[in-house]
Structure 1
Amino acid sequence: MSHDDPWYDALASGWGEGVGSGIGAPAAVRTPAARVAVVPAARGPEGAVPAADVYLQVQRSAAFQEVRSRYRRFVVPAVVVFCAWYVAYVVTATTAPDLMARPVAGAVNVGLLAGLGQFLTTFLLTWAYARHARLRRDRAALELRWDTQELARGLGGGS
């Protein structure tokens, strides 16, 4: 069985990469919608593009910005809503104990249901985040990952 992951041998720290390591000039970064050109970086003395420049190029690309934008469009409202719900629960529990103690069914009261609702919304938010990532970001992020590795290894064109 072959292993085709371009990150398999990549150094996490980035050490051992850079000028003189055979890093080629960038070609383009693919997105599901279109190919977005990446601005060429300054070349080192031996004509190689330093690894840091490759990552900066990708970070500045429209494809990367789109992935980050999709991430923010989901996460920021989700965090605001969840934190507001949590703060409302805590404030209500401390300022209106009579409301929270109101029985709903048997020994189950409003406070218990609201507390269990915190767990439920945590699980729902986790599910929604994973679904959003799978449907809206994972493919574009994976393509950026592959293209970044190609650029860092010099396979993206120019070497």
Structure 2
Amino acid sequence: MNGAMSSPAEGPAGTVYQQVQASPEFRAFRTRLRRYVFPMTAIFLAWYLAFVGLASYAPGFMSIRVGETITVGLLVGLGQFVSTFVITTLYVRFAEREIDGPAAELRARVETGLAGSPEVRA
């Protein structure tokens, strides 16, 4: 259909959400987030699957005693908890530096667009 058929609430370029999503700022924001989240997720999953694989297929290695009652398996398992906290801490720092500001700006753009068009809220 042509642009004349769009509703007044949507305007010529779509809803305020579509306009923000099409903006270069939103694309840069999404790219920045994905460049951090996807690699961190891959690293964590590889680490987790390595633990599961070692526990399943290398019980001899996992049962090697490091101390009197401490085994490699126990250390690797505890390392899962440590890595979770490290990844969370790194993400919080990343979000504070790289995500929170641009997200607030995008949110303000959406709220400004919604304030002027009550029909869009419905």
Alignment TM class, shorter chain as reference: 0.7 to 0.9
Counterpart for residue 109 of structure 1: 71
- The residue correspondences of 1:67-146 to structure 2 (distance < 5 A) are 67-146=29-108
- Equivalent-residue separation in structure 1 for 2:9 and 2:28 (angstroms): 24
Deviation, 1:43, is 5.5
Residue segments in structure 2 that go unaligned for 5+ positions in a row: 118-122
User: Structure 1 length normalisation: TM-score?
Assistant: 0.65
The percent identity for this pair of structures is 41
Task: Please state how far the C-alpha of 1:139 moved relative to its aligned partner.
Answer: 0.2
> Runs of 4+ in structure 1 displaced over 3 angstroms?
none
Residue 154 (1) aligns with residue 109 (2): no
Amino acid at match of 2:54: T
Instruction: Give the equivalent residue in structure 2 for 1:24.
Output: none
Q: Which amino acid aligns with 1:50?
A: E
- The letter of the residue matching 1:61 is S
Of 49, 74, 79, the residue aligned with 2:9 is: 49
- TM-score of the superposed pair, with normalisation by structure 2: 0.84
Looking at structure 2, the residues matched to 127 and 49 of structure 1 have their Cα atoms a distance apart, in angstroms, of 42
AA in 2 matched with 1:124: V
Give the CA RMSD over aligned residues: 1.8
Moved more, 139-148 or 50-59: 50-59
More helix by share: 2
CA distance in 1, matches of 2:22, 2:9: 16
Aligned to 2:120: none
- The alignment covers a number of residue pairs equal to 111
Q: Secondary structure at the match of 1:107?
A: coil
Of structures 1 and 2, the one with the larger relative CO (CA 8 A, separation 6+) is: 1
Task: From the two aligned structures, give the one with the greater strand fraction.
Answer: 1
